[in-house]
Amino acid sequence: MAIYFQTIANGLMLGALYACLAVGFSLVWGVLNVINMLHGSFIILGGYITYFAWHFYGIHPVAMLPVVAVLMFTLGFVLQRVAINRVVSAPVLTTLTLTFGLDMILYNVMTYWFTATPRRITLDLGAVNLGSVVLPVDRLLGTALALLLTFLLYAVMRGSNIGRAIVAVRMDRTAAELMGIRTDRIYAITFGIGALMAGVAGVVFAMVFPITTNVTGTWLGKAFVVCVVGGLGSVPGALVGGLVLGLVESFAGFWFGPQQAMTAGFVLMLILLLTRPTGLVGVKGYE
């Protein structure tokens, strides 16, 4: 029985990280109807900024969170206004191709400058034992930060004028424009928030997993699965989707081996697409 408690604990910690990873991707997809292929590279870029600040200047990763947040929001905001806004009303294949091209540029620039050598921030914080369940403190810290950041985004979406404007644009762009909301500005802010959440997720991931450009596709795939499982455009959907994916991968790794964990996640996604395309907590019309 102890091994099952350990598997559940591992799955929940992993799921919280997945929720933080995917919530920005889900927001951009749900509001702009843009499948942002840059998301995986944004995560790795946030991780690289944090790693080099820690490696060369000894800056703690937690202290880098606001710095990375500002840098990534600015990058996302500018990219949307300069490039993506020009095709935001085009068919989804056009925006998909544009973000894929931008991702290839960012991916190759990062690989050229930073190489593909895996790097990781090693904090050596030890572990907490709860009976027979062992919880590494660095992963607990990452889980707490991921949940806190996800909750902060939820609070912004629910309690601020910007958040309410984003929700209004997502529900009905034409009605929002008639109410005086500048949709182009809201789109840019939303894309900036998506990049911000990807960057801070990279900060958290750099404390838990090795950072390398070779995993940009892996993290993008995780974000995609979480959105389909939880539902598009909602913070609770990303949280539910992340936790479910984390538990499924944890148990699949325990029963069938770690190499089958990702396969189980994609099988779950296909089942949801066939049976509940809105996701577990999604809204009809955003599937």
Residue 287 lies in a domain: no
Of 125, 143, 265, give the one whose Cα is nearest residue 201.
Answer: 143
Of 244, 277, 249, 279, give the one whose Cα is nearest residue 264.
Answer: 249
Residue 100 lies in a domain: yes
Number of structural domains (the chain) is 1
Domain around 71? 1-120+128-275
Residue 62 lies in a domain: yes
Residue 76 lies in a domain: yes
Residue 229 lies in a domain: yes
Residue 282 lies in a domain: no
Domain of residue 141, CATH code:
1.10.3470
Residue 70 lies in a domain: yes
Residue 38 lies in a domain: yes
pLDDT tens, per residue, the chain with 287 residues: 778 889 999 899 999 999 988 999 988 988 888 889 999 999 999 999 999 999 999 999 999 999 999 999 999 999 999 999 888 888 888 989 999 999 999 999 999 998 888 988 888 778 888 888 888 888 899 899 999 999 999 999 888 999 899 988 888 888 888 888 888 899 999 999 999 999 999 999 898 888 999 888 889 999 989 988 888 777 888 889 999 999 999 999 889 888 888 889 888 888 888 888 788 876 655 44
